[in-house]
Amino acid sequence: MKNMRVLAKVSLIALTFLVWSSTVFSQSKMPVGSLTTEWNLFQEVKGVKFSAKKEIQAKDEYVLVKLENTTNKEITISYTLAVNYNLGCNGCNKENLKSYTIPAMSSIEGNLSHFASPLAMHITNNDPKNTYIPLHISTENLTIK
């Protein structure tokens, strides 16, 4: 009977951890369909807020990222911006890994001149031959110092 109680407690702890971890990881991804032309928070880590919005230019859609340092000290952040598609991922490896230094209580914003960086990325176009469907964006290879 005692073994059953221990097993039940271990199972409950494991289940709690699985629910908690899926919640934590789901917060770092933002469905492309929920992107708007306004900044929307999709992740916060160690005092850095990650917000995203979309911008449309010549029928192509881009995701722009804003990084906000809410701490009282300068930070250096490195990461890649990943766009996950139905047929693969762009940015999931370290191909576009960049570092940014953000002063205390400051922010930096992506724009289209930052194309193919962690601050901006092309996500979709109107090419009828394009079979890649964007699903969500995420941060990969993230380090904050």
In tens, the pLDDT along 18-75 reads: 444 333 333 478 899 999 999 999 999 999 999 999 999 888 889 999 999 999 999 9
CATH pick for 31-144 out of 2.60.40, 3.40.50, 2.50.20, 1.10.8: 2.60.40
Give the pLDDT mean for 119-132. Answer: 78
Residues 91/25, Cβ–Cβ less than 8 Å: no
Domain segments of the chain as ranges: 31-144
pTM above 0.85, yes or no: no
b/e per residue 62-86 (b: at least 16 CB within 10 A):
bbbbbbbbeeeeebebebbbbbbbe
Burial of residue 50 (CB within 10 Å: 0-12, 13-18, 19+) is: buried
Mean model confidence pLDDT for the chain: 81
